[in-house]
Structure 1
Amino acid sequence: MITFLFSLFTWIAFLVLLIVFFLLLLWMWSSIKAKVPFIGVPTKTLKDIEK
């Protein structure tokens, strides 16, 4: 029972860390995009979106 709880706690901690990491990555990406407009977005996809 204790090992089950420990593994469950480890999984929860891992998931929380993963979520925090992804949020940080998204925040960094958005701040970079704010400085440099349309970074990493090909002009072809932009034209497709406009259509």
Structure 2
Amino acid sequence: MSPTPNSLPHSAFDTGVLPRHQQFSAWREAVSVIFDTQTAESRDAGFGTA
């Protein structure tokens, strides 16, 4: 994370480097401190964040 002048701090998270069956759970763990990420659907088929 490297801020540029006049921009808000931010970070990037890419699940593309993980096996498809781990992508959603990795994303959910990363954002669960801010958002409720429960879902009724299975995400074993993959989950893109980019």
TM-score by length of 2: 0.27
Answer with 1 or 2: which has the greater Rg.
1
Higher-helix-fraction structure = 1
Comparing both chains, which one has the higher relative contact order based on Cα–Cα distances under 8 Å and sequence gaps of 6 or more?
A: 2
